[in-house]
Each structure stands twice: as structure tokens, then as C-alpha cells.
Amino acid sequence: MKCRRPTPFVSPKVPLSDPEALGEAIREARPMLDKSVKPVVIGDMELIRFKLQKEFAGLLEKTGFPYVTMMLGKSVLSEQHPQFIGLYEGDRSRDYVINRVETSDCILQLGALMTDFNTGGFTTYLEDSKTIRANLRYVKIRHHYYENVYLHDFIIKLTESLTKRDPQTLDIRSASAGCVHRNTIAYLPVETAPVTIKRFFDRMSHFIKKDSIVIAETGVSLFSAAETLMPEGVIFIGQTFYGSIGYTVGATLGACLAVENRPIVLFVGDGAFQVTCQDISTMIRHKLKPIIFLINNDGYTIERAICDRPYNDIQPWYYHKLLEVFGGGIGLEARTEGELEEALKKAESAEELIFIEVHTERFDCPESLLRAGRSMAKTNQLD
């Protein structure tokens, strides 16, 4: 049997916009932005999927506008960017971000998917009369649709048409001074203090290295990592299309196989880990070296935030000892901040997979998750 010799991948042709529709869209959008006093840009997932980060960065540089991302668009550009003000996810956002976005007199929304997770359970408030929405194949400005206008073309032409604004006039409070967990706040471990979620992710904001791939499991990990300011060059991955659990262990395996010479860090809860734990064995077999933080909070905390029932309990495991079963890697355990520091020292010098089981209290979770839980309980009429 003969096989063809592999040939270079040929990218599909980039579709062209309808020039008349594109022109009309620009003519309607430009004055809205030029006249605005408090413009804001929302950048989301389609900018990442269709590799439009360069064009997005060019628009921000040209205009000086502040920008937010949604959950699926986290890390579309460096979160150290001076115009980045934070994550917008409806009423789960920080107060400043909610106010800055929802009181804006012109919102430019690029590549956003308005899913339940992305919108904070559909709690975003973006008035049509003030919003320019551009997605892959169309643009909607106020109540007008422009079909066959492609996101790539729209960003480029809009950038060309706009002028630079003075950032001092635009109410920009950088996320580097506002994110819940950020490396601009000093962290000093308290040797005997029990690890808490807040303090753990405060520490992670200093531990995560630039150019890392950070993967966060749906639950406490995702909600906490979402409000952790990521260093330069980080790629952030989370399963926020469906919120299904167990995704990230396999995703970590895939990321390790796909990318060499970049630090890969996984945050996963105990309940989700039990779904796909066997992928650790494959990582060891292929000599992959991610750093895995298993947050052991004794069950499904995200579900308990919605409705605390016995079905959210799970069988306790000695998670860090599984490395002995799988035949490789280093398994560690941390209950105090001092023990966590010792584990992190070993992780930074290790030449193999590191697995750190971090113990926290059962109901220890970020405020954004509690708000989400109350909202979902209300929607589902649970008491």
C-alpha cells in the first residue's frame, strides 16, 4: 500500500466582504465611536480562533480605547496591556468593570459569543442603541444588520477610519491594579496558615510564568483563575461552552503533546479529576511535564453553590498517591501555606510531571461563583 508524501497545509482562502455593505457599516460605526465620551471594546473568542490578535492590537493602539474580554476570550492579548481593564461576565464581574462597560455610550463588541457562561448567565446589559457587534460573517450596528461583512475586514477598515484618543480622558483603570489575584500585590506565606482559595490564587499570580499555557477546570478553578491576572504571553484554556467537567485533564495532555518548551499548568478540582484521571498515565508514558494542582475541597463545590445535596459528595481519594499507581511523576500534598511553598520549590526544579494536591475547605470559593450559584438556583427554582 502506497501513501502520498505529506505536503504543507494549505490554509483555506480568506473570504472577501461585500464592499458596499462593508462601506456602509464603517460609515455608521465611525461617528458613533468618534462622538463617544466613554467608549469600550469587548474582545472575545473569535479573535483567537481566527488569529485576529494582531488586528485587534492594532485597533487598540490606534484608538487608545479601553477593552475587556469575556470568559472565552481571556488572554486574547496580554493581560498586562495598559488598556485592559478586566473580565466582563455580566453581574459576575468586578464592580468597576460592570459599571465601565454598562454605562459606556458606545460599545464595540468584536468576535463575542453570547453564551450562558460568557454572559454570566445572560446578565450582561448592552443596549442595542449603543452597541456595534461584529462577528465572523456579519456586523450589527444598533438595529441594522450588514450581512457578508467579515470580522477581519471590518476591524482593519474601522481601524483606518478612527483617530487616536487621549487615554487620560477615557477612564481606564488597568486590570493590573484591579484584578482580584495579581502579582502587583506582595505575597508573604504564613507558614502554619491553612491554604484558602483566595490565598492560593494570590500565590499563583506570582508563580505562573510568562508564555505559560494555563488550563482551568470548570468550577472553583475556573472562576478563580478567571480573576487571576496572567503574565505576558499566557494562553488561557477553559471549558466554558458547556461547563462540562473532566475536560481539562485530557486538554492538558493535548496541550503538552502539541506544544514543546512552554510551561503548562493545570488547575482541576477533585470531582472533575475523578472523571478523566487516567490521562495522567498517558502523560507519564510520553514523559510530559505539566504542573498539576488538584484542589481537594471534598466534592462538587460548584454544585453545592447551587444546591447543597448529598449527591454532590464523592468518594475521597489519596490523590497525590496516584502517581505511585501510574508509575511516574512526583506527587505532593499541601494543607498549609508553608507546605505549599515547599511543594512549589520542588515544582520549579523538577524535570518530570508534578502533581500537587491542595486541600481547602468544602465551601471555600470565590464570590463570583457564589453569585453564579445563587443565580442558577433561582433560575431552577431551587431552595
Q: Any idea what the CATH number is for the domain that residue 49 is in? A: 3.40.50.1220
380 pLDDT above the threshold of 80: no
Indicate whether 9 belongs to any domain: no
User: pLDDT tens for residues 39-92?
Assistant: 999 999 999 999 999 999 999 999 999 999 999 999 999 999 999 999 999 988
Indicate whether 223 belongs to any domain: yes
User: pLDDT tens for residues 313-336?
Assistant: 899 999 999 999 999 999 999 999
The pLDDT-based confidence of 1 (bands split at 50, 70, 90) is: low
Count of structural domains within the chain: 2
* CA dist., res. 223 & res. 104, Å (int): 25
Query: Domain boundary at 124, 157, 176, which?
Result: 176
User: Are 237 and 248 part of one and the same domain?
Assistant: yes
Q: Are strands 291-296 and 235-238 parallel, antiparallel or unpaired?
A: unpaired
- DSSP for 261-327 reads SS-EEEEEEHHHHHHHTTHHHHHHHTT---EEEEEE-SS-HHHHTT---GGG------GGGHHHHHT
The pLDDT-based confidence of 15 (bands split at 50, 70, 90) is: confident
User: pLDDT tens for residues 336-358?
Assistant: 999 999 999 999 999 999 999 99
User: Are 353 and 272 part of one and the same domain?
Assistant: yes
User: Are 366 and 275 part of one and the same domain?
Assistant: yes
Query: Domain boundary at 148, 176, 204, which?
Result: 176
Backbone angles phi, psi at 19, to 5 degrees: -60, -35
Domain range enclosing 225: 179-379
Indicate whether 287 belongs to any domain: yes
Query: How far, rounded to the nearest angstrom, does the alpha carbon of residue 221 sit from its chain's CA centroid?
Result: 11
User: Are 156 and 188 part of one and the same domain?
Assistant: no
H or E segment to which residue 237 belongs: strand 235-238
* CA dist., res. 191 & res. 17, Å (int): 60
User: Are 222 and 259 part of one and the same domain?
Assistant: yes
Query: Domain boundary at 114, 146, 176, which?
Result: 176
CATH of the domain at 308: 3.40.50.970
Indicate whether 196 belongs to any domain: yes
- Residue range 129-158: average pLDDT? 97
pLDDT at 367: 83
211 pLDDT above the threshold of 80: yes
Q: Are strands 138-141 and 131-134 parallel, antiparallel or unpaired?
A: antiparallel
137 pLDDT above the threshold of 80: yes
User: Are 161 and 200 part of one and the same domain?
Assistant: no
User: Are 94 and 81 part of one and the same domain?
Assistant: yes
User: Are 185 and 270 part of one and the same domain?
Assistant: yes
Indicate whether 225 belongs to any domain: yes
